Structures are given as structure tokens and as C-alpha cells.
Amino acid sequence: MEFSASRSALLREINLLQGVVEKKNTIPILTNVLLETSGESEVRLVATDLDLTLHTKCAADIARQGSAVLQAKKLFDVVRSFPDSEIRVSKGPDDWVTVVCGSSRFRMISLAKEHFPSSVHSVGDGFSVDGKVLHGLIERTVMAITQEESRYALGGALFSASAKQLEMVATDGHRLALAEAAIERDEGGDCKVIIPRKALTTLLQLSSVSEDPVRFSKDENHLFFEFGHRLLISRTLSGQFPNYDLVMPKGNDKAVSLAREALAQSIRRVSLMADERSHGIRLELSDGTLSLSSQTQDVGEANESIQADYKGDPVHIGFNAAYLLDFLNVVQSDTVVIELKDDQSPALLKPGVSESVGFRYVVMPMRLPR
């Protein structure tokens, strides 16, 4: 194998593969990336952890056909260290791969291609989604996915598609994030699948660097996401996703509109004195004012007030500050609305004005010492 490619083009594709490569090193071959010439003008690159596989391509001048399996992180570090120039990669009969850029020359050992796992390639019938819309759905929900491996069905986001709407929802039992986007499509039927967390974080990265629409399809065990010359294949998550309609608050009769950035800054400051494990802060809402406070025994306390567009009965309620900030960090509108009922009922948070992607965020309250 021998080819030449632009350093910037090759680095971009290798960087995308880093999020897929197995990090735990339990199966050594999975820490590698497959490079294989494709025709006369492309190099195909593949990374997998067996649950998630990313195929991508890089434009190249092919001098000799072949393949190599190289340590992914080390290859990334080597290519990143080069100046922005042409890179020449060649593999000799001794399975050593030489990587040359300018006066720099590296040699890396290649594993046998036969040891690298194969993956399904077929992309069946499906439908196309605007990449920016998919990015918005994932960005608003991925933070609410549970970190507990035992809660298998909650280890991803439920993705639903109909002829007129896309919907994505995630929950960890303490909060729930629901994002919706209106669409118009004539192809493909309705679907409902659970997309694993790692697939979502990779999709978030792919959709941020590509202007191409996303072609989505599935078979019995796999989900396929095609972005131009890149194809992401994920195993589906089995299990029953909870009925989230039952969680959506009903009868929250106390609503307050707040400036998003001012609220975020206040929460960040007050949370400095919150307990490091619970991150609990207290909100006290009364006419025209929202007071925020926190305290930790033997450490200290913090208090702050901001103006609030509210008139009604006072309410005191506790929240995990990190959960509130996760919501505020992805909302784009200048104002946000918090709807409350009492100190024991979940709160509903949403953007103050309509956004291209609809967003509702439910947070369970915390019991905090007074």
C-alpha cells in the first residue's frame, strides 16, 4: 500500500474516528484503525468498538493498492504533529508502515487486516433528515441520558419519526429532556428506536462538521446514519423505554420568565457553595424576585437575588444546579420560562420564545435542609 494525502484532510477523518475507537483496551485490535485504498483516488478508514462503527474516506493519490491496521491514537498524534503539507504513507512487505511529511519520518507496525472486525455495510430504505435539525435534537437531550449501566434501556435516547415530526427524548430518572422538530417527508414509514449514548455523541460531532443531510435507515439489529462519504453504524438498544408522557408536569400554575444568561451566571456563582455531591441549591420565588441560595456545613453559604417577571404565591424549591445549567447551556433564546406547582412536584423548563427545535425539560425537585 502506498498513497499521498493532504495532512488537513487526513487529520480531519482520523480525528472523527477517535470517538469510536475502543478506549478500555480489553480487545487490543479495537484500539486500531483500518486504512484501505479504494480505487485510485480515496483511502477508506474504519474504526469500531463492535457496538459502533464509523466508515469514512479521504481523498488521496494512490500509488499502490493495499491496507494497514494502525494504532489509532498514535496515528492521530503523528499526523497532528506534522506541518500542513502532503503526507506519504507506504507499507512494505515486512508489515511496517512508513509515514513521511517533509523531513519527518515515522515507522509504525501494522496488524493483519484479517484480524480487524468486519461490519455490515448495507443501507436499506429510510429517509433523509437535515443535519442541523438532528444536531439540535441530540444537543438538547444527550445530557439527560443515564450514566448507570444497569438501567440498560435508559442508556440512550428514544428517537421517533413520523411524516411530520421528529422527536427525541432522554431521561435518567431525575430529569427528562424532550426535543421536537417539525418536518415534511414522503419517504420511509414511522419508526421508534433507542439510539445509544456513544452513537449520539459521535453523531453530534459528525453533524457539526458536515453540511450534508443525514440518511437514516435500520435493520433488525443496526441503525445506519450516512453523512455524505461517512457512514456510522450502531447497534440498537433493546428494552422498553418508559412512558414519558406520564412524567410531563400537569397543573404547574406558577410560571416565571427569566433572562437566560443572568440566571445561568447566578446559578454558577451560588453553586460554588453547594454540596459537592448533591449540587443542591434553593430557589425562592416571590413577587418580582427570584432568590437563590446554597450552603454546605463547615464550608459556607451563598445568597443572590435577580429580578423576576412573577406575581403570585411564593414557592420554595430545591434543585440540582448542574441539571439547571445543562438546560441553560443549550437553550438559544434570551429568556427561559420555569413552570412550578409546589416544592414536591417536578418543574418544567422551556425556552422563552419559539426555537427551530422545540424543547421541554423536566427536573425533579430536591429536599434540602433549611
Residue 120 within a domain: no
Residue 319 is part of a domain; what is its CATH number?
3.10.150.10
| Cα torsion 330, 337, 292, 316: sign | negative
Domain boundary among 64, 90, 115: 115
Give, as one character, the DSSP assignment of residue 345.
S
The residue out of 94, 115, 136 marking a domain boundary is 115
Q: How confident is the model at residue 39 (pLDDT cuts 50, 70, 90)?
A: confident
Task: Say if residue 194 is in the same domain as residue 174.
Answer: yes
Whether residue 136 is found in the same domain as residue 229: yes
Mean pLDDT across the chain, nearest whole number?
92
Residue predicted with more confidence, 246 or 321: 321
Residue 124 has pLDDT above 80, yes or no: no
At residue 157 the predicted structure's pLDDT band, cuts being 50, 70 and 90, is very high
Q: What is the 3-state secondary structure (H, E, C) of 76-145?
A: HHHHHHCCCCEEEEEECCCCEEEEEECCEEEEEECECHHHCCCCCCCCCCEEEECHHHHHHHHHHHHHHC
29 and 137 fall within a common domain = no
Q: Which of 255, 271, 260 is nearest to 304 (CA)?
A: 271
Q: What is the pLDDT of residues 297-339, one digit of tens each?
A: 889 999 999 999 898 899 999 999 999 999 999 999 999 999 9
Query: Are residues 191 and 273 part of one domain?
Result: no
Question: What are the Cα distances from residue 239, in Å, to 153, 200, 223, 258, 285?
Answer: 5, 18, 16, 38, 40
Residues 211 and 300 in one domain: no
pLDDT greater than 70 at residue 122: no
Domain count, the chain: 3
Domain check: are 262 and 224 in the same one?
A: no
Domain range holding 41?
A: 2-115
Same-domain check for residues 161 and 184: yes
Q: How far apart are CA 67 and CA 2, in angstroms?
A: 9
Structural domain ending residue among the three candidates 89, 115, 141: 115
The 10s digit of each residue's pLDDT in 190-238 is 889 999 999 999 999 999 988 889 999 998 889 999 998 999 999 988 8
Q: Are residues 83 and 153 in the same domain?
A: no
- Residue that the C-alpha cell 443549550 belongs to: 330
| In-domain check, residue 368 | no
pLDDT (tens digit, 9 = 90+) per residue, 256-303?
999 999 999 999 999 999 999 999 999 999 999 999 999 998 899 999
Predicted pLDDT at 356 = 78
Please, which residues have CB within 8 angstroms of residue 276's CB and are 6 or more apart in sequence?
296
